[in-house]
């Protein structure tokens, strides 16, 4: 009689847990295979616990069953390592919130605007105008750089002038800023000040005999990565054109 009661409790518990997993999956927008893994793991745990209790009631040894359960659990865990790892990493990311949707981030060798954070992947919109999915385990094991200042994308990139292009005989560091870079920045800002939160900033990051490297810092509204992808190359082209025009005048 007690054994039948335990069996009934097992089936009732399984049904309750299964419905809870379904509700959680809909709320968290889990993919179907992740939902099925949760159901399988919960079923194994419930059945194993129930069988162990029944064996104890009947006075039968439980060592062999525990050993078989441990081996089965190890096999399932090994087969699902990556999926479960991504799932746990996704939970950690959602709890700790190192970045949010619409943030601009650099994750290892990839960068872009975060479009979605799931329990399996982080989806980002890249400078090639495509969406890529980065597994959460990779995100957790990689340095993440959040290119944000409050609600503004704060993005910096280098621009180098090397070799004969930068010989002091035709352009000095002072002229580089006063007659080439600064006028372009002013022109660019006048053109886009209605859509940009701040004027671009320029600083020197490297100086050598035949090389000057500038760091150009640009600011864009959060969630407007496409604007960054469109305007960054435009600003670069404007600077290079101004440089060419200056060299022609110097001629």
Dump pLDDT digits (tens) for 158-214. 988 765 544 544 677 788 888 889 999 999 999 999 999 999 999 988 776 667 789
Whole-angstrom CA distances from 162 to 111, 158, 212 are: 26, 12, 6
Tell me which residue of 74, 67, 217, 243 sits closest to 157, measured CA to CA.
217
68-94 pLDDT, tens digit each? 455 455 445 544 556 667 777 777 787
User: Other C-beta atoms within 10 Å of 49: how many?
Assistant: 14
At residue 128, φ and ψ (nearest 5 deg) are -90, 10
- Is the pTM higher than 0.75? The answer reads no
- Average pLDDT (107-125) is 90
């Amino acid at each position: 009689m007690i054994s039948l009661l335990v069996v009934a409790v097992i089936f009732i518990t399984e049904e309750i847990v299964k419905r809870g997993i379904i509700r959680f999956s809909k709320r968290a927008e889990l993919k179907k295979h992740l939902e099925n893994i949760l159901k399988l793991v919960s079923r194994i745990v419930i059945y194993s616990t129930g069988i162990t209790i029944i064996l104890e009631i009947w006075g039968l040894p439980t060592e062999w069953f525990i050993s078989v359960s441990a081996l089965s659990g190890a096999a399932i865990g090994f087969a699902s390592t990556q999926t479960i790892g991504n799932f746990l990493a996704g939970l950690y990311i959602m709890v700790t919130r190192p970045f949010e949707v619409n943030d601009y981030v650099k994750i290892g060798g990839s960068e872009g605007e975060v479009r979605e954070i799931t329990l399996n992947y982080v989806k980002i919109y890249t400078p090639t105008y495509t969406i890529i999915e980065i597994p959460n385990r990779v995100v957790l094991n990689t340095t993440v750089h959040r290119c944000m200042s409050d609600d503004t994308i704060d993005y910096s990139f280098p621009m180098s002038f090397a070799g004969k292009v930068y010989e002091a005989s035709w352009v000095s560091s002072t002229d580089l800023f006063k007659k080439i870079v600064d006028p372009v920045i002013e022109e660019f800002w006048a053109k886009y000040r209605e859509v940009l939160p701040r004027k671009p900033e320029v600083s020197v990051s490297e100086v050598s005999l035949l090389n000057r490297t500038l760091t150009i810092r640009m600011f864009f509204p959060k969630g407007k990565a496409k604007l960054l992808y469109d305007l960054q190359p435009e600003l670069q082209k404007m600077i290079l054109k101004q440089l060419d025009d200056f060299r022609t005048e110097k001629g």
